[in-house]
Every structure is written in C-alpha cells, then in structure tokens.
Amino acid sequence: MRPSWIEVDLEAVRHNVSTLTDLVAPSQMCAVVKADGYGHGDVPVATAAIESGATWLAVALVEEGVRLREAGITAPILLLSEPPNADAPDVIEWNLTPTVYTAGFCDALAGATTEPIAVHLKVDTGMHRVGTSPQDALALARHVDAKPGLDLAAVWTHLAVAEEDAEYTMRQVASIRGFMAAAGGEGLDIPMLHIANTAGAMGSSEARADMVRCGIGIYGLHPAPGFHPEIPLRPAMRVVSQVSLVRRLRAGTRASYGRRREMPADGWVATVPVGYADGVARRLGDVGGEVLIGGKRRPLAGTVTMDQIVVDCGDDPVEIGDEVVLIGRQGDEEITADDWARWLGTINYEIVCDFGPRMPRRFQG
C-alpha cells in the first residue's frame, strides 16, 4: 500500500469541542461535520463531538446525514440547505431536521409527512447566498405555522464576515433579532434562535443566542490568522508520507514538469508518493511550499505532479522510508494548514477539505 495517509487526532477534536462548548455556555453546541468532517472523517468526528458536549450535528447534504444515521448516530442532525423537493421523503425517513427558506420546499415536506416534523427557518440577513429575505421571512413563517405537518422549531441566519467586520456582524445580529421580535408580536412562538459560526462564537457574545454552529474550530483551526489566539485549539489533522526514492542532483539541475526550479547547489532530492490527485496543490512548488523531513523544513524541488512530489534536502542525509510531514509537527518544527493557506492565497478550510479519498484516514485517540 502507498505510504501516504492522514492522521486524525480525535482527542484533539474532543478538546476543541469541549473548549468551545465551555466558551459559549449556556448556548448549545452544533458540530458542523459536512464535507466528510472538513476532510477529517465525518462519522468519527461526529461521534467524538457528541461525546464532548455537542448536542447537535450539521451537514450540507441529505446523503451526509444518511451516512451518519447509518453509522448509528442518533443526535439531531440539521440539514443546512434545502435539497431538491424530491428529497423531502428521504429527509423525513432519516429523521433529519431540514432548513427551509422557500414555500415550495415547505409544501414538499408537509406533503411527505404523516406527523409533524421540526423545521428551521433560515433568514438571509446579509450573506446573500441562501435563505428567505427579511422582508419575506414573516410571511414564510406564517406559511410554515399554518401547515399541520410542520413545526417551526427554530430560526437561524449565517454570518458573512464575523472574523473581520464586527459592525456588519452586529447589523446581521440586529436584523435576525428584529425578525424574532416581529414574529413574537404576530403570536409565533419560536423556541430557538441560532446565529454564530465559529468566528461568531469566538468573537461575539451577542451572536451566540440559543445555539452556535461550529465547523472549523472543532478541527483545531482558527477562522482567520490571529483571530482570538488565546482560545486554545489543537489541530486535529496531520498529513504524512514517506520517502520513496533518493537521488543526488547537481547544481543547476531542474526537476519535475516544466523544469521550473533550479537546484541551487549539489544535493539530495527525495521523491515522495503524494500529489495533486491527493490534495497537494500543483502550484505549491511555485509559491515556496515546504515539507518536513528529519525535523527540518525542506523546499519542494519542482512542480507537484499527480502522484508525487520532489523535495530538496540539500546535503542532509535522507533515506527511503523516512517520514515526510506535509501538515503537522515533526520534532520541534511544524507546518500548519495556515502555512499552506498563506502560500496558496486561500483559507485553511479549503486546505483541509481538499485532501481526497486516496489518502486513508487513521484515527487516533
């Protein structure tokens, strides 16, 4: 078997969930495990989260919720977006809690159920992606309330810039709380409000409401570099491979496709069996990307290929089978998902989600 894998520290997940749950108490914790638990493995992460204080889980797709149910998970599972109307029977069969924001999907749910099901109404207060508008929200809430098969159990919204713009975040919070007041004035008794994502939960007590939905934080990553570093999260992902070949190249030699990088001096070059088909961005070698071998940072020696990378180890001895760390700690050194995000001009969310199924997950703790 190819010696490239991802180690997932479930004890770190438990620590992160517990830390965030304590931070937001008495608000409930909803652990977001969509996209295969942000690349960490949805079922093990969901199980660890529930063990550590989360009372809800959240997913993006019906099939993600079904996978959790098939694994025996019984906790409430929030579906974060409306699926096609034709999926309404599956939502009900698998006991998922649907988000609603169109009358059409509400009608599909009501027509597919024989007893009342709880729904969460999403109001778009400024993300402008999905959700009913504040102007239409009250009418849709009344529409839900009038359906015998639907129980309006919660209202929620999603924060667009909680990690960088406090003023805009407070405008969103004020908007959704204004809607709740208006709904109460209409005689609608809505027992739950949830607003905050990880950034909102960390940075705004006003956004915590009755429940928070934490995604990136439960995996030990902060929503942005330097955002509330005093909150002690522990990264749960370590990306590992091994050296598969070592050869000595002369100064001036250019390795890999495109011959883009020149060896600055004679040195050892290690081939490592992991590439862009696994989630290592092809341009990582062009932007200063590094890995750890022997406890030292080593630059890539050329372009990332589909299945392999080449690493410039200089004059340091390296052997076939030596451990290579792409993300994580080795000795006193560490390469983080934030390092990758900085090199590639993106966010840590994308980095951890990009590692695909060719990289088996090994769960620890």
Q: How many Cβ atoms are within 10 Å of 115's Cβ, its own excluded?
A: 8
CA distance 333 to 337: 14
Distances (CA, A) of 198 to 27, 131, 152, 306: 13, 19, 25, 34
Task: State whether residue 168 is helix, strand or coil.
Answer: helix
Task: State whether residue 43 is helix, strand or coil.
Answer: helix
pLDDT at position 8, please? 99
Fill in the DSSP letter of residue 357.
Answer: T
Residues of the chain with CATH 2.40.37.10: 237-364
Fill in the DSSP letter of residue 257.
Answer: G
Of the residues 38, 257, 276, 349, only one is catalytic, namely: 257
Q: List the structure tokens of 345.
A: 């001009």
pLDDT at position 245, please? 99
pLDDT at position 14, please? 99
pLDDT at position 26, please? 98
Query: How far, rounded to the nearest angstrom, does the alpha carbon of residue 326 sit from its chain's CA centroid?
Result: 19
pLDDT at position 196, please? 99
Query: What is the end-to-end Cα distance of the chain in Å, rounded?
Result: 24
Q: Which CATH superfamily is domain 10-218 in?
A: Alanine racemase (3.20.20.10)
pLDDT at position 161, please? 98
Torsion from C-alpha of 112, 113, 119, 125, nearest 10 degrees: 20
Beta strand pairing call for 97-100 and 117-122:
parallel
CA distance 32 to 37: 7
CATH class for domain 237-364? mainly beta
Residues near 7 by Cβ (< 8 Å), separated by ≥ 6? 237, 238, 239, 240, 328, 361, 362, 364
Phi, psi dihedrals of residue 291, rounded to the nearest 5° = -130, 170
Of the residues 34, 38, 101, 122, only one is catalytic, namely: 34
Residue ranges in the chain whose pLDDT is less than 70: none
Burial of 14 (0-12, 13-18, 19+ CB in 10 A): buried
pLDDT at position 295, please? 98
Maximal CA-CA distance, the chain: 79
349 catalytic, yes or no? Answer: no
pTM: 0.96
Per-residue pLDDT tens for 227-271? 999 999 999 999 999 999 999 999 999 999 999 999 999 999 999
- Report which of 250, 303, 241 is spatially closest to residue 278, judged by C-alpha positions: 241
Amino acid at 355: F
Residues of the chain with CATH 3.20.20.10: 10-218
DSSP code string of 178-229: HHHHHHHHTT----EEE---HHHHHH-GGG-SSEEEESGGGGT--SSTTSST
Residue 273, preceding peptide bond in cis (omega within 30° of 0): no
Per-residue pLDDT tens for 279-294? 999 999 999 999 999 9
257 catalytic, yes or no? Answer: yes
Fill in the DSSP letter of residue 57.
Answer: E
Sign of CA dihedral 182, 188, 191, 196: negative
pLDDT at position 80, please? 99
Give kind and range of the element (H or E) at residue 362.
strand 361-364
Fill in the DSSP letter of residue 115.
Answer: S
Residues near 63 by Cβ (< 8 Å), separated by ≥ 6? none
Give kind and range of the element (H or E) at residue 36.
helix 34-38
Burial 293-329 (b: 16+ CB within 10 A, else e): bbeeebbbbbbbbebbbbbbbeeeebeeebebbbbbe
